[in-house]
């Protein structure tokens, strides 16, 4: 297990983000940062605003006030594909893969940004087109190897067991060459074996230089995997810090116990 070294500079900076839906305040003046090479876990009871926050970070929702910066560039008003081009890629909890395509084609599609061929290259089947396709195919095999799905590459994605579908979703995101990966409840609905597999994958990804922010409900998983935890409740950050500290934090305990029994 690689040692958790000093985190690098700030890469993701959430500044005074507020989201209001009519009269409902989903996020209120949220401020935090994520540093290069960190794994940060975002947790909170149901309805705390985690999904809303996630959607703001990835360009799927415009904040009412405030903004998000990635490596200095403001994300405000940018379309999702532009944000992906900046290196910030997310996974989805549901509909995380292209159901009707093969596993291999899924990753190939994710590798879209890597290719540079134009319409004319395609129509005339130029050497550049052929070289691009070969390169993408090689890279796709590589990524499938990393997540452990290369045996499945010819199968239809929708036919995979649920746990492997989520793995494919991560593979898709990896294909887009992220410098930072946002994982949306990566182990929700998974059994113990599948969860361990994802946890190992997360470490492997971080070791390759990718910063990670994840939203999760599975406490043991998040506590083990994260360098730092950020806790949301009713749209506000109520605590930040290393897992050990968060587990003892009275505000956090109250937030969760106040909701009823949660998975310890």
Partner 1 sequence: MKRALPAFWLIVVLTVPFWLPDQYILHILIITGIFIIAAMSLNLLLGYTGQLSLGHVAFFGIGAYASALTTLGFDVELFAGFRVVHEPWPAVVGFFVGTIVAGMSGYVIGRLSFKVRGAYFVIVTISFAEVTRLVALNWVELTQGPLALTNIPPYTIGFPGLGDYTLWNKTAYYYLVLAVGLAAYIVISRLVGSRIGRAMIALKENETLASSVGIDVTHYLVLAAVISAAVAGSAGSLYAHYVKIIDPDIFLFVYTVMMVIMVITGGKGTLAGPIVGGIIFGFLPVILRPIAAPAVQWILYGALMIVIVFVLPQGIVPAVERWMANWTQFGRKAAGIMLASNSKPGDGP
Partner 2 sequence: MDQLLQHLVNAVILGGTYALLGIGLTLIFGIMRVVNFTHGELYAFGAYTVYLISAALGLDFFLGLIVAIVAGGLLGALIEITLLRPMRGADIDTVMLVMIGGWIVMQNTELLVWGGVAKAIVTPFPEAPLVIGPVSISWLRVFVLVVALLLIAGSYVLIHRTKLGKAMRATFQDTDTAALMGVNIRGVYTATFALGSGLAAAAGALLGPVFLVTPTMGDLASLKAFAIVILGGLGNITGATVGGFILALVEEIGAGYISSGYRDAMGFLIIIAVLLFKPTGLFARAERVG
**Piece of 63-71, 160-168, 173-181, 223-231 that binds partner 1 (CB under 8 A):** 173-181
Residue 8 Rama label (left phi>0; alpha psi -120 to 50; beta): beta
> Which is closer to partner 2, CB of 22 or CB of 127?
22
- DSSP strands (E only) in the chain: 10-21, 24-35, 39-43, 65-70, 73-74, 88-90, 180-184, 211-215, 228-233, 236-241
Distance in angstroms (rounded) separating the CA atoms of residues 64 and 22: 10
Quick check: 264 binds partner 2 (CB under 8 A)?
A: no
Query: From the list partner 2, partner 1, none, which binds 24 (C-beta under 5 to 8 Å, kind-based)?
Result: partner 2
Binding residue for partner 1 (CB under 8 A) from 26, 75, 168, 173?
173
Q: Which does 101 bind (CB under 5 to 8 A by kind): partner 1, partner 2, none?
A: partner 1
Q: Which of 1, 2, 5, 24 binds partner 2 (CB under 8 A)?
A: 24
Identify the three-state secondary structure at position 134: helix
For position 94 contacting partner 2 by CB under 8 A, the verdict is no
Q: Does 100 bind partner 1 (CB under 8 A)?
A: yes
The token pair that represents 247 in the structure block = 């587990």
Q: How far is the CB of 53 from partner 2 (least distance, A)?
A: 16
Q: Given strand 228-233, what is the order of strands in its sheet?
A: 88-90, 180-184, 211-215, 39-43, 228-233, 236-241
> Binding residue for partner 2 (CB under 8 A) from 5, 22, 127, 250?
22
Give contact residues for partner 2 (rule: CB under 8 A).
21-22, 24
């Amino acid at each position: 297990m690689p040692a958790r070294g000093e985190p690098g500079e700030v890469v993701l900076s959430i500044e005074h983000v507020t989201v209001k839906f009519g009269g409902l305040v989903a996020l209120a003046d949220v401020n935090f940062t994520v540093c290069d090479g960190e794994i940060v876990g975002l947790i909170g009871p149901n309805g705390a605003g985690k999904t809303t926050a996630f959607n703001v970070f990835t360009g799927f929702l415009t904040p009412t006030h405030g903004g998000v910066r990635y490596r200095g560039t403001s994300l405000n008003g940018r379309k999702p594909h532009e944000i992906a081009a900046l290196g910030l890629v997310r996974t989805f909890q549901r509909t995380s893969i292209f159901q009707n395509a093969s596993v291999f084609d899924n990753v190939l599609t994710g590798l879209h940004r890597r290719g540079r061929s134009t319409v004319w290259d395609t129509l005339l089947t130029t050497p550049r087109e052929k070289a691009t396709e070969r390169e993408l195919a090689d890279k796709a095999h590589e990524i499938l190897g990393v997540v452990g799905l290369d045996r499945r590459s010819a199968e239809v994605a929708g036919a995979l067991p649920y746990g492997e579908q989520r793995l494919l979703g991560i593979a898709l995101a990896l294909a887009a060459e992220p410098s930072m990966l946002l994982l949306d409840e990566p182990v929700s609905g998974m059994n113990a074996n599948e969860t361990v597999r994802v946890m190992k994958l997360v470490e492997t990804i971080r070791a390759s230089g990718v910063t990670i922010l994840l939203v999760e409900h599975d406490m043991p998983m998040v506590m083990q995997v994260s360098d730092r935890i950020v806790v949301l409740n009713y749209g506000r950050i109520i605590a930040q810090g290393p897992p050990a500290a968060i587990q003892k934090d009275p505000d956090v305990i109250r937030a969760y116990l106040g909701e009823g029994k949660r998975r310890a």
